[in-house]
A and B are shown apart, each in its own frame.
Chain A
């Protein structure tokens, strides 16, 4: 921190002085609207001297009388003016491409010419939201994009992104991340969103329909996110400095029973099944009011395990500028985040260098490199990570103190033998049980060469390597613990596991493009070739017998050493092309085709062709519409296209003998070999076909803009592995092409911009997306984890289990239930038990009575942003919500005191004869029929609606007036305060975050989401 301040002060004091011949002032105006144009570049030709217009379009520059000023702005025609004797030069820039320019596959396009469905987000629209992962910026801002935030853990908080729902059946319940994740390209290089510094980003483009993504072919079936980073602008060096500090706290905390309530309820659970009470009245008294340190009477584990006000600091510095021929941007970023669970933290270092150079009139080249280091820590929780700690804070019997009077961490309790947990105290284990460190080193060098041999014909070659190295060091300390009387060693022998996972993706790409205007027709085309190869190498080594926690290197111990390693590869090779045609910008057409080959398919079906077409009609540009002045733009568009999916694992088409089938002979390990999977040499591409119709309109003097889309996205020849007969040797089934999945939905976004008076500006944006998922065709249904069903006619991964329809009020009713059928517990059923629905009405409740009880696919997402600016003040608020998503609330905290695991406070409202009007069952020792543990883990009371509306971001900022900042040599000085996730409205289970809720989390162990309060500063000069 101190170091950075020094750098900052140095930069602040640095002054830039130039020869001063003449001072020229002026204003730059937009030729179309006549409004001032802020941010336009003014450069003294042939020098590095330059400036930028302010918010009112004004500029001031010093230049020689004989020099020429170059006025430029993206999307406008560049204008050159010789200075001469003038001291004021006002310039009007004509729109080269009127209106917004959108980054599309392999280029840019005017938004008014778009015929595909593309959602865009510029970083200006994000404001000062302190996102730790760039992906989070998309939340609530781009329609059709669904984020599932599985974890808030520092360094591990990247959300799962889905664009227009899940299109492939292979998405298993356990790993929803892999197969339905979109392709992410950062400046055209395949990458991930977690290694781009959010401040480096200029814009996001989300390619949603097949037509706009088709050119990426095989990798694009789940949509594409294009990230464009900021680049240098010609002119004198411009320095930007951004920093903020945020204080984070969990959005909500699970409410677990205190030791007293636990003991009281456990006694009840015992007497409910005819057993003796477990805790005496004196012991209950000790749990309630304290008095004996062996009987814990303090706050719950979450009070000790969650952290409030954990600091998050972020610093970002960039310098950009350049001459007419060479432009540069350099940036460095540093982030230091303390976690909101104890013993977790992460630091991230980023750098980026973007250099573009015009070598000659016909040749341009560039070199970009970016990199990052993420260094994260979490407790080594007996070999597991922090989620195991969260899990234990929920389920652990709350009766033991963290340490005894003898100073040792507790493990069991001699005063409560057989009546409390025997393991090491969760907080003690997290603090003293060791540490897991994960470092990600990432680097992406990228070079390009662009040649324009004749006008409008451009060839480009582009090569990049994305290297990611994950180094993990997991140290598990031997601990000395106590049960209050005995002192003993626990938590293993002292062990260290070190691993290294190196992944390299090399991409080579070559494109040629040409454009030509013939009369009123405009034609452009692109052809290209790309190849990509991937390799991953894994190496791990471990040792045991570490007696000191200070020696944590592999060579510091020698007990039970072990090594392992593996490697895998895939490669992709493709040809692609695109043709765009428009007639006066009124009638638009685009055609794409991609020819893909993948190593993942057998030689028989290695290649696939993926075409797409789209059409647009700019109604507002027609003669007959010219008189309707309220309609500025009005465009219909429609598209159809096919995309491929190759997510079948690397070697599905090759049959092999697996050599990891060990056995023991003569007391030593020997290798064994066997086929473990059946291969399908005929497996071929899964095809996703999307039809999209859309409308873009700009109305009322550019104040209101509207985009609407309706789409049908069908995946055909879906890659899946239907089960095969076990008599083939219990082999994992081969991937086959069968089945059909449909996602159908609509998206709507609106944006209104207005002025009140001269200086008060405001805007309102809102978006709504709806998606319905359905399996159209599937030969045999899949049930995974005994609770997640994929079946024809239903949404993918539907929850499947027993439906609870009430609670029995008497033993007689429970045991002789003619009305409800024989319950699973039979004659052991009792008052206070759940009534399970006998859905088939055969008088017996059994596995055949299970039905679909929930849909985990998000049905609706929406977002709303309001902004207001007055003079230097700005206000911004973003609300984001999900309507319609079912998730599983795990078994921990809800097992009805079968054993001695803790419960949530929901059980304070359990059924008792005195409290008959409730939806929570009785508690009962050893009794499983009120829990998800009976016959299958899904019960309707555990499948909950995780809809929510959340104030994601709120911000107040103040930019000091230019007159003031210029006096201290700054072009911009802004301070702000903001808050993230400050308000949430939901009916989800109290104490758990609906956004955090992983869909299939049987054990409730998500790392919590943070709400935070931020103070920040932006400076530029």
Chain B
């Protein structure tokens, strides 16, 4: 009997299992933020959010289809509903997606800003990483407050209980954005070596600051920031290179480009390549695409504007060696800005998304100058530079402030089309402009856009209100 019990006790010791198991592909959170390498991993993880579908990979270019530049065919991705002004509400996908994705970027940036200072590492690099995080946090908050107005300002780490905060006034959010951008401009380099190309620069921080001031009608500050950008040596590319600016061949050029979201195709990793080719419909092999320039927008280009053929593909135009037939798309046109003229580039392409370029800075100067001082020579000079590059004549002399304002709006629409500006411009211009833009769209069958005052802001996502009722009250009329 004893020998059997001994035998079984022996077998038992062989059979025990270890219940302490940890993930085999992730680092435990307490062990992270220990070295300079962790700081780099952490900041890269913030950039990762920029390249997401719900940020610059898909959403930003489709905002032109929410505005009156284009039409989005498919209702299930909700651009169509937002553009029509109905069939979407606080429960819809996009209001929720953008809210969540923005906070994803913000919290990742917060983690860098809160944890990196304690790491023992090269101090210059440390300052740069924190500067990058502040630039990115400002960019995410900027999108957020443009769409939702007042939003919770989160800059510290929270527990689930602490996360049930009310919304902060937009002015507080803007204050944080300016603080972050000033700190970023002070610590970021003007340029990077080739292996770091694509990180945020001093120019990017200043140019974004100029944009936020412009949106906030702080014209003197917008001009000052823009001039600082100009002083860093940025300039427009020549006319011949206008279309190339959005293609891999001119990627990250230091003359006009100020900040680009980086993409790379054919890596075997999903989500790091851009989707211009697959969503444009310009190349027949990839189906119909998901957003199409509308006739009213195409007609908006002045005669002789070289930007038209570099932005929009029209019937009979040859692209990638194939003659485009307008019947292939619902509007008869296709977007080609950023589309690589190669029918072998399928889903994931190398083309970057140009977020900020010098042309925008010039338009900011023109607009801010006109608002602040009227149609001055400075304003004329800035806008004419853009027009001349596009192969157009100077604007006629002697326009009123009102007339120049209209001219600048027109110029922004065509110069910056499909770069994620026009919809946000309409929101900041106000109800009258948004109404006019929505009602101008007549050429698409079964497609009617109906303006409502509430459309100037998006609703706070219902799902977030359900979790955190302190987010109430909802934005007006939603």
Q: How far is the CA of A422 from the CA of B199 in the complex (A)?
A: 40
Q: Given A569-B21, A672-B45, A828-B446, is A664 in contact with B100 using a C-beta cutoff of 8 Å?
A: no
Nearest neighbor of B101 in chain A, beta-carbon distance: A730
Pick from B19, B20, B75, B271: contact of A928, CB under 8 Å: B75
Which among A83-91, A451-459, A466-474 touches the partner chain? A451-459
Residues 334-371 of B, flagged 1 when their CB comes within 8 A of A and 0 if not, give 00000000001010001000000000000000000000
Q: How far is the CA of A660 from the CA of B272 in the complex (A)?
A: 11
Nearest neighbor of A728 in chain B, beta-carbon distance: B163
Q: How far is the CB of A181 from chain B (nearest CB, A)?
A: 22
Which among A130-138, A235-243, A647-655, A869-877 touches the partner chain? A647-655
- A571:B19 contact, CB within 8 angstroms: yes
- A273:B154 contact, CB within 8 angstroms: no
- A780:B466 contact, CB within 8 angstroms: yes
Contacts of A451 in B (CB 8 A): 4, 7-8
Q: How far is the CA of A417 from the CA of B257 in the complex (A)?
A: 39
Q: How far is the CA of A610 from the CA of B78 in the complex (A)?
A: 49
Pick from A274, A418, A510: contact of B445, CB under 8 Å: A274
Contacts of B8 in A (CB 8 A): 451, 459, 461, 510, 512
Q: Is residue B111 contacting chain A, with contact meaning CB distance below 8 A? A: yes
Pick from B7, B92, B165: contact of A727, CB under 8 Å: B165
Q: Given A672-B41, A675-B111, A826-B86, is A724 in contact with B269 using a C-beta cutoff of 8 Å?
A: no
Residues 158-172 of B, flagged 1 when their CB comes within 8 A of A and 0 if not, give 101001110000000
Q: How far is the CA of A570 from the CA of B325 in the complex (A)?
A: 57
Q: Is residue A187 contacting chain B, with contact meaning CB distance below 8 A? A: no
Q: Is residue A560 contacting chain B, with contact meaning CB distance below 8 A? A: yes
Residues 317-341 of B, flagged 1 when their CB comes within 8 A of A and 0 if not, give 0000000011110100000000000
Q: Given A510-B11, A727-B165, A730-B107, is A573 in contact with B21 using a C-beta cutoff of 8 Å?
A: no
Q: Given A727-B163, A728-B160, is A669 in contact with B269 using a C-beta cutoff of 8 Å?
A: yes
- A674:B42 contact, CB within 8 angstroms: yes
Q: How far is the CA of A728 from the CA of B8 in the complex (A)?
A: 52
- A672:B44 contact, CB within 8 angstroms: yes
- A663:B12 contact, CB within 8 angstroms: no
Q: How far is the CA of A665 from the CA of B76 in the complex (A)?
A: 33
Q: How far is the CB of B189 from chain A (nearest CB, A)?
A: 14
Nearest neighbor of B23 in chain A, beta-carbon distance: A651
Q: Given A508-B15, A654-B28, is A562 in contact with B164 using a C-beta cutoff of 8 Å?
A: no
Contacts of B29 in A (CB 8 A): 655-657, 675, 679
Q: Is residue A820 contacting chain B, with contact meaning CB distance below 8 A? A: no
Which of B23, B447, B450, B466 has most chain A Cβ within 10 Å?
A: B23
- A728:B325 contact, CB within 8 angstroms: no
Q: Is residue A915 contacting chain B, with contact meaning CB distance below 8 A? A: no
- B87:A824 contact, CB within 8 angstroms: yes
Contacts of A561 in B (CB 8 A): 268
Nearest neighbor of B160 in chain A, beta-carbon distance: A724
Q: Is residue B221 contacting chain A, with contact meaning CB distance below 8 A? A: no
Q: Given A531-B17, A669-B269, A670-B44, is A727 in contact with B24 using a C-beta cutoff of 8 Å?
A: no
Q: Is residue A726 contacting chain B, with contact meaning CB distance below 8 A? A: yes
- A657:B32 contact, CB within 8 angstroms: yes
Contacts of B375 in A (CB 8 A): none
Contacts of A658 in B (CB 8 A): 26
Contacts of A569 in B (CB 8 A): 21, 24
Q: Is residue A17 contacting chain B, with contact meaning CB distance below 8 A? A: no
Pick from B75, B198, B467: contact of A725, CB under 8 Å: B467
Q: How far is the CA of A764 from the CA of B21 in the complex (A)?
A: 52
- A724:B163 contact, CB within 8 angstroms: yes
- List residues 248-263 of chain B with CB under 8 A from any CB of chain A: 251, 262-263
Q: How far is the CB of A973 from chain B (nearest CB, A)?
A: 47
Q: Is residue A599 contacting chain B, with contact meaning CB distance below 8 A? A: yes
Q: Is residue B128 contacting chain A, with contact meaning CB distance below 8 A? A: no
- A924:B87 contact, CB within 8 angstroms: no
Q: How far is the CA of A674 from the CA of B38 in the complex (A)?
A: 10
Q: How far is the CA of A842 from the CA of B17 in the complex (A)?
A: 62
Contacts of B395 in A (CB 8 A): none
- B17:A666 contact, CB within 8 angstroms: no
Q: How far is the CA of A933 from the CA of B78 in the complex (A)?
A: 10
Pick from B22, B197, B285: contact of A422, CB under 8 Å: B285
Q: How far is the CA of A786 from the CA of B7 in the complex (A)?
A: 59
Q: Given A508-B15, A656-B29, A673-B42, is A729 in contact with B21 using a C-beta cutoff of 8 Å?
A: no
- B330:A847 contact, CB within 8 angstroms: no
Q: How far is the CB of B79 from chain A (nearest CB, A)?
A: 13
Q: Is residue A159 contacting chain B, with contact meaning CB distance below 8 A? A: no
Pick from A560, A597, A650, A672: contact of B47, CB under 8 Å: A672
Contacts of B377 in A (CB 8 A): none
- A847:B103 contact, CB within 8 angstroms: no
Nearest neighbor of B85 in chain A, beta-carbon distance: A826
- A926:B447 contact, CB within 8 angstroms: yes
- B21:A461 contact, CB within 8 angstroms: no
Contacts of A847 in B (CB 8 A): 89, 91-92
Pick from B32, B86, B108, B199: contact of A665, CB under 8 Å: B199
Q: How far is the CB of B415 from chain A (nearest CB, A)?
A: 26
State the interface size on chain A (CB cutoff 8 A).
Answer: 101
Pick from A599, A665, A728, A828: contact of B262, CB under 8 Å: A665
Count A-B pairs with CB separation below 8 Å.
Answer: 274
Q: How far is the CA of A533 from the CA of B99 in the complex (A)?
A: 41
Q: Is residue A255 contacting chain B, with contact meaning CB distance below 8 A? A: no
Q: How far is the CB of A735 from chain B (nearest CB, A)?
A: 13
Q: How far is the CA of A663 from the CA of B41 in the complex (A)?
A: 10
Q: Is residue A4 contacting chain B, with contact meaning CB distance below 8 A? A: no
Q: Given A672-B41, A674-B42, is A422 in contact with B448 using a C-beta cutoff of 8 Å?
A: no
Q: How far is the CB of A434 from chain B (nearest CB, A)?
A: 16
Pick from A417, A567, A665, A730: contact of B103, CB under 8 Å: A730
Q: Is residue A606 contacting chain B, with contact meaning CB distance below 8 A? A: yes
Q: How far is the CB of A108 from chain B (nearest CB, A)?
A: 23
Q: Is residue A671 contacting chain B, with contact meaning CB distance below 8 A? A: yes
- B18:A571 contact, CB within 8 angstroms: yes
- A668:B264 contact, CB within 8 angstroms: yes
Contacts of A665 in B (CB 8 A): 44, 195-199, 262
Q: Is residue A229 contacting chain B, with contact meaning CB distance below 8 A? A: no
Q: How far is the CA of A567 from the CA of B284 in the complex (A)?
A: 41
- A659:B21 contact, CB within 8 angstroms: no
Q: Is residue B194 contacting chain A, with contact meaning CB distance below 8 A? A: yes
- B284:A422 contact, CB within 8 angstroms: yes
Q: How far is the CA of A966 from the CA of B400 in the complex (A)?
A: 114
- A927:B99 contact, CB within 8 angstroms: no
- A673:B32 contact, CB within 8 angstroms: yes
Contacts of B430 in A (CB 8 A): none
Q: Is residue A311 contacting chain B, with contact meaning CB distance below 8 A? A: no
Nearest neighbor of A667 in chain B, beta-carbon distance: B264
- A568:B445 contact, CB within 8 angstroms: no
Q: How far is the CA of A650 from the CA of B24 in the complex (A)?
A: 11
Q: How far is the CA of A657 from the CA of B11 in the complex (A)?
A: 39
Residues 713-743 of A, flagged 1 when their CB comes within 8 A of B and 0 if not, give 0000000000111111111000000000000
Q: Is residue A309 contacting chain B, with contact meaning CB distance below 8 A? A: no
- B264:A828 contact, CB within 8 angstroms: no
Nearest neighbor of A563 in chain B, beta-carbon distance: B268
Residues 183-215 of B, flagged 1 when their CB comes within 8 A of A and 0 if not, give 000000000011111110000000000000000
- A interface residues with partner B (beta carbon < 8 Å): 273-275, 412, 417-419, 422-423, 449, 451, 453-454, 459, 461, 463, 488, 490, 492-493, 508-510, 512, 529, 531-533, 542, 544, 560-564, 566-573, 597-600, 606, 650-651, 654-675, 678-679, 723-731, 780, 786, 824, 826-828, 846-847, 899, 924-928, 933-935, 937
Q: Can you list 25 pairs linking A and B with CB atoms under 8 Å apart?
A: A419-B327, A488-B285, A529-B12, A567-B24, A571-B17, A599-B21, A651-B22, A664-B264, A664-B272, A665-B262, A666-B197, A667-B264, A669-B269, A669-B272, A673-B45, A674-B108, A725-B164, A726-B99, A727-B158, A729-B104, A729-B107, A729-B111, A924-B446, A933-B74, A934-B75
Q: Beyond the given A531-B15, A663-B44, A663-B45, could you list 9 further A-B residue pairs with CB under 8 A, ordered by the A residue number? A: A417-B325, A461-B8, A508-B17, A510-B12, A560-B266, A665-B197, A666-B198, A727-B154, A729-B111
